[in-house]
Chains A and B, each alone.
Chain A
Amino acid sequence: MSKSSIIKVENLSKHYLLNKNVVQKSDTLFGSFIGGLKDIKSLTQKKETIDFWALKDISFEIEQGDRVGIIGRNGAGKSTLLKILSRITPPTKGRIEITGRVASLLEVGTGFHGDLSGRENIYLNGSVLGMSKHEIDRKFDEIVAFAEVEQFLDTPVKRYSSGMYVRLAFAVAAHLEPEILIVDEVLAVGDAAFQKKCLGKMNEVSTQDGRTILFVSHHMGAVQKLCNRGLFLEKGQMMDYGGIDPIMKKYMEIGHALSVSTFTFENCLNYRKSRAYFIKVELRDSKGNLCADFPVGDKINLHIHFESASKMEETVVGFGIISSTELPIVTSWAEPENYRQGQNEIVFEIENLYIVPSIYKIAIGISRGNESIDFNTDIVSINVSDIINIPNAHRIVNTNSGILLNQFPYKII
């Protein structure tokens, strides 16, 4: 057998029926009692549902030793694809043939329990990921050394620092020996040094042992470094599949890089799942027109539309700006405010933000107290262009200029 395809996907589709009617959850005990009775009554009625194809007619083949980066915007179907390939959820149509042992890493530390010690968790997590006791025994020392937690092996992991926790979790996963490894965005956690170590480990595993890797990340640098092939998804459809560099270029041109001034949440899987949820986000310029290209320092109006199932008090809406290399630039919160039941709109006026010309993503969130109600990242993006809107600007901007371009007053003495 020459270089043969190890994963063969034919006409894969995944369909969801989403409930259109949101059940209005009440805050009061009496209200929820009445709500419960209504729920029972509504069982007999036909529910209005929305058809939603998370994936549509995807076909591709992956050869042994390929490292495939799956790229696409939020809601493109990347995670659904990985979930189907890992047999977590069944497809609606199509067929997949996989030759070899698959391990999926869709989350770091699946099955970790805070009350158990590091040692107990290594065994639990390892077995969740499909390792036998014998396999874990054999790699135990290696895992502990990789995670650098020797002294804390018998401490419950709830007393670990978050860094230690993530290191231990990744260490277990990194010592899996499947023929096919499916990895989703796990590198988003942990510090930079550890991320580098993880990437190195994955690289080593695939190049030395010829293992196949499927990798989803918003971190373009990581994808480019690790993968040799790319699969570009957009709205559940496959846009292109091929060598990583041309795919990346295409994605930058027509996908992500294209600044997006409006985003509606209708097609997102978690739409209407929380008691308040985002409906639409828009970027407008100072004249009120939809716009996604702004000269450095120009005023940007960020309109956030959200709907609430009930009246909300002391609720905080905020947003963040994130660079294309996943570096958070700034976060801004509104004061705790009261919002009405139904539709709400809040406008942030982003002023005096002098950031280096590039593409930036916006993340938005809504929370109350310590509870995060809805959060979304990677929805709209701003293209900050290098027409500099600062009076008397005479200077050269290049990659060494940093992120902020604020100009400070000065005196010559």
Chain B
Amino acid sequence: MNKDKIIIDPNLSSYLSIKDILRYKSLLNNLAKRDFLIRYKQALAGILWALIKPLVNVLVFGYISYKISNTGNVAANFAYLASAMLLWQLFANVFNDVSNSIINNSNLFSKVYFPKIVIPLSTILVCLVDFLISLVILIVLFILSGQTIYWHIILAPLFVFLALLNGFGIGLFFATLNVKYRDVKFIVPVLLQLGMYITPVIFSTNFYLDRLPQWLHWLFCLNPMVGAIDGFKYALFGGDSIGNIYYFISSIGVSFLFLFIGLKYFYKFERSFVDYI
């Protein structure tokens, strides 16, 4: 029999362990399945809601964007907006759900041991499924607008992954804060609301850079979603989607910095969450 040896002592610091996560794979799947099943239980439209919410957003903001930056092809305009909007929604959902995931599942880890990182990871899975469903909207608009498909469409999943990492990293930081300060629950939606307007969601990066004073441009090179959204647009539509290559690269750098900080902060307090819940 192979014997695990567990050492428990006060100074033991926990860290991200892929082995541990794999061992709790079935918990990860079951938590994601639970959240998914419960979300649409006793709702008449059921899973259709995963489609309705983003559709309304795309229609409303698509109309606004079309009216303001009027550029010929209506469907193309909508498709362009939908790509940014859906990716932003993915980020927003991951950020919001991850930041609440720890306190929402405190009943679990206050009674049983498992690597707590499994909880936010399962949250990501649920958000990803929602995103894949909402992709239907983008595909339909893409076909309607008669877009040509470039080779760089194979890069698209990379930028989806980048958006996930953004939501996960920042979400972990807020999830840890949330354990002690429940104000986080209210702050996150406000941050997201503000964030959408300083991110190239409704308008392109160039639209912003042309109109914003020079001294505000740092907002774009420090915003981790600029890289993800512009990269995603480039993968789908090509052209000059990437407004400024330096800002683009810096933004991706910030993504990984935030992920690192989020993980670091989470693991610093992970072991004593129970004492603060």
Of the residues B7, B109, B271, contact of A97 by C-beta under 8 Å: B7
Is B3 interfacial (CB-CB < 8 Å)?
yes
Q: A90-B12, A116-B38, A132-B26 are in contact. Are A106 and B112 (CB under 8 A)?
A: yes
How many A-B pairs have beta carbons closer than 8 Å: the answer is 108
What CA separation (Å) do A123 and B26 show in the bound complex? 9
Interface bits A118-156 vs B (CB < 8 Å: 1, else 0): 001001100111111100100000000000000000000
**Which residues in A have their C-beta under 8 angstroms from that of B112?**
86, 88, 104, 106, 110-111, 128-130
Of the residues B10, B34, B111, contact of A110 by C-beta under 8 Å: B111
What CA separation (Å) do A116 and B31 show in the bound complex? 12
Q: A104-B113, A127-B30, A128-B108 are in contact. Are A98 and B38 (CB under 8 A)?
A: no
Q: A110-B108, A127-B30 are in contact. Are A96 and B4 (CB under 8 A)?
A: no
Contact B5 A98 (CB under 8 A): yes
Q: A104-B113, A106-B111 are in contact. Are A87 and B274 (CB under 8 A)?
A: no
Is A107 interfacial (CB-CB < 8 Å)?
yes
Q: Which residue of B lies closest to A13 (CB)?
A: B10
Of the residues A87, A116, A136, contact of B113 by C-beta under 8 Å: A87
**Which residues in A have their C-beta under 8 angstroms from that of B113?**
86-88, 102, 104
Is A275 interfacial (CB-CB < 8 Å)?
no
CB distance from B161 to the nearest CB of A (A): 26
Is A331 interfacial (CB-CB < 8 Å)?
no
**Which residues in B have their C-beta under 8 angstroms from that of A107?**
111
Q: A88-B111, A88-B112, A91-B9 are in contact. Are A116 and B4 (CB under 8 A)?
A: no
**Which residues in A have their C-beta under 8 angstroms from that of B31?**
124, 127
CB distance from A272 to the nearest CB of B (A): 16
Contact A96 B9 (CB under 8 A): yes
Contact A102 B10 (CB under 8 A): no
Contact B26 A131 (CB under 8 A): yes
Q: How large is the interface on A (under 10, 10 to 19, 20 to 34, 35 or more residues)?
A: 35 or more
Is A243 interfacial (CB-CB < 8 Å)?
no
Contact A115 B274 (CB under 8 A): no
Q: A88-B109, A100-B3 are in contact. Are A128 and B8 (CB under 8 A)?
A: no
**Which residues in A have their C-beta under 8 angstroms from that of B272?**
89-90
**Which residues in A have their C-beta under 8 angstroms from that of B10?**
90-94
Is B37 interfacial (CB-CB < 8 Å)?
yes
Is B154 interfacial (CB-CB < 8 Å)?
no
**Which residues in B have their C-beta under 8 angstroms from that of A136?**
26
Is B211 interfacial (CB-CB < 8 Å)?
no
**Which residues in A have their C-beta under 8 angstroms from that of B34?**
113, 116, 120, 124
Is A280 interfacial (CB-CB < 8 Å)?
no
Is A3 interfacial (CB-CB < 8 Å)?
no
What CA separation (Å) do A129 and B6 show in the bound complex? 17
* Chain B 1-47 interface residues, beta-carbon cutoff 8 Å to A: 3-10, 12, 24-27, 29-31, 33-34, 37-38, 41-42
Q: Which residue of A lies closest to B270 (CB)?
A: A90
Q: Which residue of B lies closest to A85 (CB)?
A: B8
**Which residues in B have their C-beta under 8 angstroms from that of A132?**
25-26
**Which residues in B have their C-beta under 8 angstroms from that of A123?**
30
Q: A87-B113, A98-B6, A120-B34 are in contact. Are A127 and B26 (CB under 8 A)?
A: yes
Q: Which residue of B lies closest to A107 (CB)?
A: B111
What CA separation (Å) do A107 and B107 show in the bound complex? 10
**Which residues in B have their C-beta under 8 angstroms from that of A90?**
8, 10, 12, 271-272
* Chain A 317-367 interface residues, beta-carbon cutoff 8 Å to B: none
Is B275 interfacial (CB-CB < 8 Å)?
yes
Contact A110 B107 (CB under 8 A): yes
B12, B30, B272 pick with most chain A CB within 10 angstroms: B30
What CA separation (Å) do A129 and B33 show in the bound complex? 16
Is A33 interfacial (CB-CB < 8 Å)?
no
**Which residues in B have their C-beta under 8 angstroms from that of A131?**
26
Is B114 interfacial (CB-CB < 8 Å)?
yes
What CA separation (Å) do A277 and B7 show in the bound complex? 38
Q: A16-B275, A83-B274 are in contact. Are A116 and B37 (CB under 8 A)?
A: yes
Is B147 interfacial (CB-CB < 8 Å)?
no
CB distance from B180 to the nearest CB of A (A): 11
Give the A-binding residues of B (Cβ under 8 A). 3-10, 12, 24-27, 29-31, 33-34, 37-38, 41-42, 107-114, 271-272, 274-275
Per CB-CB distance, the 5 closest pairs between chain A and chain B, nearest first, are A96-B8, A87-B113, A127-B27, A98-B6, A127-B30
A-B contact pairs, 23 of them (CB 8 A): A86-B112, A87-B6, A89-B272, A89-B274, A89-B275, A90-B8, A90-B12, A95-B8, A97-B5, A97-B8, A99-B3, A99-B4, A102-B6, A102-B113, A106-B112, A110-B107, A111-B112, A127-B24, A127-B27, A128-B27, A128-B114, A130-B24, A133-B26
